[in-house]
Each structure stands twice: as C-alpha cells, then as structure tokens.
Amino acid sequence: MQKKFSWPVIKQRRDAYVKRLNGIYADNLEKSHVEHIDGNATFTNDRCVTVAGKTLSAKHILIATGGYPVVPNIPGAEHGITSDGFFELDDIPTKSVVVGAGYIAVELAGILQSLGSDVSLVIRFDKVLRKFDSLISTSVTNELEKIGVKICRQTQVISVANQADGRLTLDTTKSMLKDINSIIWAVGRLPLSQIGLEKVNVETDSKGHIKVDEYQNTSAENIYALGDVCGKALLTPVAIAAGRKLALRVFGNEADAKMDYNLIPTVIFSHPPVGTIGLSEEEALKHYGKESVKVFSSTFVPLYHAVTERKVKTSMKLVCAGSQEKVVGLHMLGQGCDEILQGFAVAIKMGATKKDFDDTVAIHPTSSEELVTLR
C-alpha cells in the first residue's frame, strides 16, 4: 500500500519537538540559577529594564532580542504569512506564492514544491541568492526551475486581494497571479530594537540595528548586543559563539576574547543543499586583483544518481589567492554539501592552501573527494 505524506502529522511532531526543546532550555536555565521572566522589556531613563511589572538593574546588560520578518507595506499584505506562520498552515497549499530571493524564500519554495504545492517564486531581479557566489546563485535558480518552481523574474508585488472563493489574487508589475491558497512573505528581516534604546544612549543604524564594536560593546558603557539585532551574520551559531566570547571577556578573565566574523560557514537547505564559506569569486577578484586569484571548479553527477532517472548535478568551486594559493572561498551545491562543509571549514579557518587540499588522500567514492582532486 502506498503511503501518502501527511502535513498534519509532521506539523504535530515538529510542534512537539520544539516544545520539548523549549522545556530543555528552561530546565537548563533553572539548573544554572537563572531567573526567567516572560514579557516585553524596555529600558528606562535611569538605565534600568522594566518587564512584567518588575524593574531590574545590573552592572552588565546584554541585548539579544533578535529580529522579525518584514511584511511589505502594500494593500492586502495582511492576507499573506511570513516564515513564522509557515508551520501554522493546516495543510500544504494547493497553490503557493513565495515572495523573496533570499535563503528563507529559497528553502520554503523548495519544501512546498517538493511536497506537492504549485509554487511561484516572485523575485526582483533575475536570480535568487544574489549576494552569494555566482555559482551558487545561478545553480540554485536553475535547480528551483528544474523541480517545477515558476520563477517570476524582475517582478514586484503591487497588492493582494481576496477572491470570492476565499483564495487570493496577487497583482504584480508583470502580471496577475490568481487562485492562490497561500502567500509567504520572505522579503527580509528587521531588528527587534524598539526597546527604549534612546533612553540609555545606545546607537542604531538607519534600519534599527544596534551598532557594536568588535567586542560586542554598544555606545553605552557595559551594555552589549549580539545576534540578529546587530544585523551581521544572521545565524544562530554565530550568536551562540559571540555570546560565549563575550562571557569569557566579561566574566572569564580573557580580556581579548571576541568573535571572529571572518570565514563563517553557511548552509542553505535548498534542493539540493548549498554549503559556502569565505569570499565569492567576485569578492576575491575585487579584494586581491585578477592576477592574484585562481579559481578551480567542477560540475558532475554524483555516484548516487548513477541509477536514478533524474540526474541532480553537484557543483564545487575553490577560490584561491596569493602565491601560496591560500583557499579564501569554497562554494558548493549538491547532495551532502551541507554535511561536507563543516570539516573543510576547519581546514580553511586554519589557513589551508590548494597544496594542502592536493596533498590530502581522496575518499572514494564520495562527492567530497572532488575538492581534493580539483585541477
């Protein structure tokens, strides 16, 4: 008997898993004798924090409030949802529109299409993930189309309207998209910094991100900030690492402890997944100059797909710089690239060169061996 995927089942299990994790974190806080107060906190003029009817003060204050997804300021935008509401869906929409070209848009579009939804992806330019290396941007855009996602290029949304049957119509600069069951806004995130920062002289940029130095110090003495609220490297492991370094500096007698924001490995859970670290080819050329940059790349069908009807290719690129051919960037797309990246990230962080890669014995048959056999 053929089994059918059940969204309600996976949603129930996901919710239970998250609830379990929340309980674990709450227990860990309690075991560490951390007082947990639920509420919306705000600063006062006398450098205190008010929350849930309490007023708190401390020598050291850390702001790690994160961010929230943007909803565009257009008529009918309230009919759409954001990534926060994705798991609130009762079932997989028959027809979906995802608006955005970043990693959240790419991931959600891939998930929905793979689970049977008819997905359109609305982007302002010609490719997704434009801030990434051209190999990644071009390859992911092509793979989305190969799995059936309809990409509406050079398109912006004008308005959203309800149809008589409860479905939605999206009016864009190119055409009308009708009979939509769900619209997901994935057009960026803003910092959750509306907490009275002006009362304690904590400076922000034009978008509300808190300005910090290399040690996570804000413009106010003994008030620190890290994570998405600062607008740099918006990844959970980055915030965790920055928090550990800050704790070591403030309380662990390591005066020079600070987060290194260079060479941060990043994975995008697209279909297939992406792994990337360091400079893109374009960034390396701009930084080092054409004469000092050498690029090695390969596109191939991994052995896994030798017997499958659909041949999903893997693409890899090494960006090297200088006379020693130091590896300053690694970019790849394909099955397992998300797992492959972590180990290679250690090597690149340690300053590995192309020769170091070449001197490493390949593991056969794997996709990762391509990185140590590139010519």
Nearest to 143 by CA among 6, 273, 277, 299: 273
85-116: b (≥16 Cβ within 10 Å) or e: ebeebeebbebbbbbbbbbbbbbbbbbbbeee
Across-strand partners of 118?
95
Neighbours of 224 (CB within 10 A): 24
Which 3 state secondary structure label does DSSP give 166? Answer: coil
Which 3 state secondary structure label does DSSP give 316? Answer: strand
What type of residue is 310? R
In the chain the beta strands, taken as DSSP E runs, fall at 42-43, 49-51, 54-56, 61-63, 67-69, 81-82, 95-99, 118-122, 150-152, 157-162, 168-172, 176-180, 182-185, 189-191, 223-225, 266-268, 274-278, 293-300, 314-321, 326-333
CB 286 within 8 A of CB 319: no
C-alpha gyration radius of the chain: 23
Crossing angle for the helix pair 103-114 and 134-146, to the nearest 10 degrees: 20
By DSSP bridging, strand 67-69 and strand 61-63 are unpaired
* Residue labelled with tokens 């190999």: 135
Active site residues: 364
Cα separation, 132 vs 143, in Å, equals 16
Q: How far is CA 325 from the centre of its chain?
A: 29
